[in-house]
Structure 1
Amino acid sequence: MQRGKKEATDITGLLRTRHANRCILFALCCTPFALSLLGCTPRIPSTSVEARRHDKNSVQPKVVKELELPGDALAGDDRYVVNLKGSKLQVRDRRGKLVFEPNREFRPLSVERPVQLVGNRIYIVEGSPKDDSTFERVWIGDLAKKRLSPLDELNRLVRKVPPPELCFSSKYAAIADEKKLVIYDLALRRVSHVLPRKCWFEPIGWTSDTKIAGIGCVKLRGRKVTAPNVGVLDIKSGRFEWCTDFDPDVGLGHAIAGQGHVLAEYSEPSNDHDRQCIVELRSRKVSFLDGMAEFTPLFLDSSGILHSELLGYFGLWKMRLWGKGPLGPAVPSERPVQGRVRQKWAVELTHDLETDPYVGPDGTVYVVTERECIALRSDGSKKWRLRKSDLQFCSVVATKETVYLAMSDRLRALARDGTRLWQWIEGIEVWGPAFGHDGTLLFGDGHGHLHALSEGGKEKWRRTLARGENAAVSAPVVGEDGIVYALSSSGALHAFEPGGRSKWVFRTQGQQAGDPILVPGLGVAFIVEEFDGGSSSALFVVDGNGRQRWKKMLPAEAPDRVSASKDGTVYYGDGRALHAVNERGHEEWKFHAPGCSPPLVVGRNGTVYVASDDGNIYAIGRDGKREWAFNTMSDGARVGGVGRDGTVYGRTWDTVFALHVKR
């Protein structure tokens, strides 16, 4: 597909998808298997391709085969890759293990991006069983819950816009036709913006909740002819910010967007050698990849690796575009200083992270992947590593002498050097632990019980807080007076004396949505969902005597966790903004950050640190104003904790990093 040729009079006539490319290649060259029968060996591009044209911005990538797949690769991100095996869609992790396979057959619509991954969601644009160029419906899949459902309201809208080009973010769907660009709010299930298309503009990928990158034909610098260029559209203002200034006779083909970059097929009449251009949206720097004509780019991950498909082969091929790798030990950051903050170090791991970084009392940083628990020193160097195959859903809590792993079926205690001391096994999920004033370990489980163990792992007492199939008890918290608070799956907050005697129960008309937290000077805060039988959530603050101090209703998409500062301010994010609520339950301020989500980490000086879907980690002062922002170039960024020296620790899908904040 090439965009913007001078002799083209019909833009839609130039569109041909990579599925069409694959069919043409198949028809002309047959399959690699058939060629092998004829005694021919299909040519795989060399890892050191001699380019016909070089310039200072030209890159000669090293291409490595990454993964075999049983069918065409359609999409991917830092954690997953989607392939089509016959008429079955399969979602796999980056090692090829099957994660989710919908129990139905699909025929993806013949468009540029028929399948898109956004966090734990997969969007599938389905074509008609009789004609894959005719739109049928859009499906949304929840990879965590292994559930697939149609987007009925969006489907009714899209059927009016033939042929549709759709682009999804965590909040919106962009629908482009010949006359306008429609922005559909996925949460509110309604049209949010309608932008007239003053020029041809094809959306490629969202760079934030309000900006979308794409390729369009525009007039630049007084030219009388249009030229294809890469730009960013602000859906609020409707303004285009063009990032390139290509000549009119340049052709741009299949393109992808991600990690602050756009990568597109590039051709020009003066050079018959096909290239791919890489546009860094922030700096507007343009680089080129030479000798990559046989590869179809699929996605860019947060570590700077481009993952592509080789036409005629099933699988993924990878090449590094920026950064260093593989990043085993800590590597000094090459990112520029962003105001008051700079990255001290980053450690890339071989598996995706299961938890956020946990900072122990001695400054050790603990991270858990699905196969190992790693302890890092404050400079990023490794102290020890525990390799296990059963660390899914594991969390870490540590004292000065002992490290505790709360796992899916046990609680394990480790010494400071990572050696095992003891473990408590009952085959049920463990949430916690918290520590009593006498060293007692307190934790909830997935069967509705609250447990108390001695420091040596022997059970002191057990209490049943909930019964039934979905009975569960949250991770508890311990007040300054030693009272233990735990939230049951029925939305009831229980208070126990240190010896296990029940003190009081505060009941709500909702379901447990997360763990309770202590609010200094006020009591305990927690969120329940499906409040009063509806779809909304509610935030409660209850004092030490079991009396409600205040309640605040929240939208259905509110998070399950909140945070609090020393002055009694409670913070929560609703996916669009960070909210601060004072001790009387009144909102003090809100800070707009798209997709902001827990955990919200509160520093010693009251600064709140939160990650956003736009890839930034924000520091917000007590007055609600931004102190600084650090761009991680990843939509999987999260904040883990703050060290005693003020170092902020965070992570992306597979990398943990430390930020130095200038005071």
Structure 2
Amino acid sequence: MVGPDNTIYAGSYDGRLYAISPDGTKKWAATTGVIGNSTSAFGAGGTVYVASDNYNLYAIRPAGTQRWTFPTGSDIHSAPAIAADGTVYIGSGDNNLYAVGVAPPRRAIAKVPVTTTPAWPMFHHDRAHTGRSEFSTSANPGILKWTFSTGGSATANPVIAVDGTIYVGSDDYKFYAVRPDGSRKWVSRTSGTVESPAAIGADGTLYFGCNDQRVSPNPFNSNLYAINPDGEQKWVLAMAGGRMDAPVIGADGAILANTNNELYAVNPGGTLKWTFTPSKFTTLSSPAIGTDNTIYLGSSYYYIGARSQSGRLFALHPDGTLSWQFAAPHPLTAPAVGSDGTVVIGSSDDTLYAVKPDGTAKWKFWANDGKSSGFGLSSPAIGDDGTIYVGSGDYNLYAVKPDGTEKWKFPTGNPVLSSPAIGADGTIYVGSGNDRHLYAINPDGTLKWKFTTGVIQAINSSPAIGADGTVYFGSDDGNLYAVGAAAVAQPAP
């Protein structure tokens, strides 16, 4: 960095900021801890501002003496920016943007959380379908912030973009973009129900499924939509085979979307990459992807002649070829993949299976208390400590240890078909059938709070967690709910 008087300033890994005269002689060296990749900036009076890997922002006088230092919560690699009023802005590795006042006492006059990835980019948060957020919900007391009304059941799970925009589909043939304050940003019309959660691409493109008879006259076909963040349609790809489940975006950018009996891999431009079709009539679940890019699919395997059905867990290579399959006696839901590669998946007979990465059984757990008629299990979520959370048709949310033994179960008032979501603080969120409740459950299985919707309609939508800890979920009553730390005035639609 070259100053107004042509002095050259350079940081060094010896922990000093050097000032070099235009003739190459050293003017001074100021000790500032470990200098990383941050570029210096100049303020009024020749003050030099430079950041350090030791978490501090330094203000150095033109003579090389320290004017002041300001600590952040992590190492700093961004360059300071100076406003006209002298305020210094600096980004830190603690995911905050700081605005630092120059007048004593030195303090951050503003600290704004910054994220570079969507808070909840797809069904169950990530490719592995863990349902686990990186954001804490410890300050969320369960207060209604706002509701946003769609024209039909909002059963599709919401997703959340980098800027906090919430996206949700409805069976009113529309896909909605909702601002963090609950006002409508835009709406995209389709000609079919939107029951599929969206997946958000690296460039913000939204991918979701719809039964669109305008493009596909066969009512049993689905279509994959790609929409820009401003609501403009990019492309539509027709897919045979019935209802589409939640798409997932692979590490290579390909969109993995399934219909009832076929998995499609689609390039970001809308061209087909490959397909996987099981040999028998099969209903496939939303795919999950392991750290080695193996693709996992649950399925219902129908034997039409025998009028019977079973389940299969398919493991596919990244190119769509079959690696192995695991057989179960009943249909299977969407899987989740643990950090050790274990695949956990629920069954319609209330059995939770854990399958090793090689396709062999690890353990199974029956999630039914024997008192209620079971309606199958939700898709499981996996906590940071490996605990598996799964909802059951017996009205309970189960917490299962990594070894397959029960940790606890929490009773709700209806079948739990909503897949759980987990905050970074360990709180588990899940909806429950027609009892109208969203439950917040502590990691020890005790109730933290519960939120009640105003209409007796099921909550089958899985919750999504925003960067500020707000929990969003849809309901069969047609509303998208935002539950968070403070209520706000209801915006106009």
Q: Same fold (TM over 0.5)?
A: yes
Determine the structure 2 residue equivalent to 1:651. 474
Q: Which of the numbers 326, 329, 334 marks the counterpart of 1:509?
A: 329
Residues 156-191 of structure 1: per-residue CA shift (max 9 Å, x gap): xxxxxxxxxxxxxxxxxxxxxxxxxxxxxxxxxxxx
Determine the structure 2 residue equivalent to 1:584. 403
Q: Which of the numbers 340, 364, 376 marks the counterpart of 1:558?
A: 376
SS in 2 for 1:599: coil
Change in Cα spacing, 1:501 to 1:616, as seen in structure 2 (3 Å) is closer
Aligned-pair distance for 1:522?
4.8
Change in Cα spacing, 1:431 to 1:455, as seen in structure 2 (3 Å) is same
Aligned-pair distance for 1:605?
2.1
Aligned-pair distance for 1:626?
1.4
SS in 1 for 2:430: strand
User: Aligned ranges for residues 350-361 of structure 1 at < 5 Å?
Assistant: 350-361=151-162
Change in Cα spacing, 1:482 to 1:602, as seen in structure 2 (3 Å) is same
Determine the structure 2 residue equivalent to 1:605. 425
SS in 2 for 1:492: strand
Q: Does 1:413 align with 2:236?
A: no
Aligned-pair distance for 1:635?
3.0
Determine the structure 1 residue equivalent to 2:387. 569
Question: Partners of 1:617 and 1:560 in 2: how far apart?
Answer: 15
Determine the structure 2 residue equivalent to 1:524. 343
Question: Partners of 2:246 and 2:162 in 1: how far apart?
Answer: 17
More strand by share: 1
Residues 333-361 of structure 1: per-residue CA shift (max 9 Å, x gap): xxxxx992321122223333242323234
Aligned-pair distance for 1:453?
1.4
Determine the structure 2 residue equivalent to 1:441. 255
Aligned-pair distance for 1:541?
1.1
Determine the structure 1 residue equivalent to 2:358. 545
Q: Does 1:365 align with 2:141?
A: no
Question: Partners of 2:438 and 2:197 in 1: how far apart?
Answer: 22
Q: Does 1:451 align with 2:264?
A: yes
Question: Partners of 2:325 and 2:189 in 1: how far apart?
Answer: 41
Question: Partners of 2:381 and 2:444 in 1: how far apart?
Answer: 16
Q: Does 1:476 align with 2:476?
A: no
Aligned-pair distance for 1:642?
0.7
Kept after mapping to 2: 8 A contact 1:541/1:548: yes
Question: Partners of 2:421 and 2:456 in 1: how far apart?
Answer: 18
Question: Partners of 1:477 and 1:376 in 2: how far apart?
Answer: 27
Aligned-pair distance for 1:647?
0.5
Kept after mapping to 1: 8 A contact 2:346/2:378: yes
Question: Partners of 2:279 and 2:379 in 1: how far apart?
Answer: 21
Aligned length: 315
Q: Does 1:495 align with 2:315?
A: yes
Determine the structure 1 residue equivalent to 2:413. 594
Determine the structure 2 residue equivalent to 1:329. none
Kept after mapping to 2: 8 A contact 1:361/1:398: no
SS in 2 for 1:404: strand
Kept after mapping to 1: 8 A contact 2:430/2:439: yes
Question: Partners of 2:283 and 2:297 in 1: how far apart?
Answer: 10
Aligned-pair distance for 1:656?
1.4
SS in 2 for 1:395: coil
Q: Which of the numbers 194, 202, 206 marks the counterpart of 1:403?
A: 206
Determine the structure 1 residue equivalent to 2:442. 621
The residue type equivalent to 1:616 in the other structure is H
Question: Partners of 1:376 and 1:423 in 2: how far apart?
Answer: 22
Kept after mapping to 2: 8 A contact 1:520/1:565: no
Kept after mapping to 2: 8 A contact 1:395/1:407: no
Kept after mapping to 2: 8 A contact 1:522/1:541: no
Residues 75-120 of structure 1: per-residue CA shift (max 9 Å, x gap): xxxxxxxxxxxxxxxxxxxxxxxxxxxxxxxxxxxxxxxxxxxxxx
Kept after mapping to 1: 8 A contact 2:154/2:169: yes
Change in Cα spacing, 1:650 to 1:354, as seen in structure 2 (3 Å) is closer
SS in 1 for 2:251: coil
The residue type equivalent to 1:593 in the other structure is T
Q: Which of the numbers 147, 155, 158 marks the counterpart of 1:346?
A: 147
Of 495-504 and 629-638, deviating more is: 629-638
Change in Cα spacing, 1:516 to 1:385, as seen in structure 2 (3 Å) is same
Question: Partners of 2:140 and 2:388 in 1: how far apart?
Answer: 27
Question: Partners of 1:501 and 1:392 in 2: how far apart?
Answer: 29
Kept after mapping to 1: 8 A contact 2:205/2:228: yes
User: Aligned ranges for residues 53-202 of structure 1 at < 5 Å?
Assistant: none
TM-score scaled to structure 1, two decimals? 0.45
Question: Partners of 2:382 and 2:228 in 1: how far apart?
Answer: 31
Aligned-pair distance for 1:578?
1.3
Supply the RMSD in Å over aligned alpha carbons.
Answer: 2.2
Determine the structure 2 residue equivalent to 1:293. none
Kept after mapping to 2: 8 A contact 1:444/1:475: yes
Aligned-pair distance for 1:417?
0.8
* Structure with more relative contact order (C-alpha pairs < 8 Å, separation 6 or more): 2
The residue type equivalent to 2:428 in the other structure is V
Aligned-pair distance for 1:377?
1.4
Change in Cα spacing, 1:617 to 1:560, as seen in structure 2 (3 Å) is closer
Question: Partners of 1:510 and 1:538 in 2: how far apart?
Answer: 9
Displacement over 4 Å in runs of 4+: none
Q: Does 1:632 align with 2:433?
A: no
Q: Which of the numbers 376, 388, 392 marks the counterpart of 2:178?
A: 376
Change in Cα spacing, 1:354 to 1:630, as seen in structure 2 (3 Å) is closer
Q: Which structure 1 residue ranges, 5 or more long, are not aligned? A: 1-337, 530-535
Change in Cα spacing, 1:519 to 1:381, as seen in structure 2 (3 Å) is same
Aligned-pair distance for 1:366?
1.2
The residue type equivalent to 1:380 in the other structure is G
Kept after mapping to 2: 8 A contact 1:360/1:397: no
Question: Partners of 1:360 and 1:515 in 2: how far apart?
Answer: 23
Question: Partners of 2:180 and 2:285 in 1: how far apart?
Answer: 30
Determine the structure 2 residue equivalent to 1:422. 235
SS in 2 for 1:511: coil
Residues 389-441 of structure 1: per-residue CA shift (max 9 Å, x gap): 31253432222421012123111111111111111113433223112111111
Change in Cα spacing, 1:453 to 1:567, as seen in structure 2 (3 Å) is same
Residues 215-242 of structure 1: per-residue CA shift (max 9 Å, x gap): xxxxxxxxxxxxxxxxxxxxxxxxxxxx
Question: Partners of 2:341 and 2:274 in 1: how far apart?
Answer: 28
Q: Does 1:389 align with 2:209?
A: no
Change in Cα spacing, 1:493 to 1:339, as seen in structure 2 (3 Å) is closer
Residues 622-643 of structure 1: per-residue CA shift (max 9 Å, x gap): 1111122222233325352111
Change in Cα spacing, 1:499 to 1:427, as seen in structure 2 (3 Å) is closer
The residue type equivalent to 1:643 in the other structure is G
Q: Percent identity?
A: 30
Determine the structure 2 residue equivalent to 1:90. none
Change in Cα spacing, 1:650 to 1:500, as seen in structure 2 (3 Å) is closer
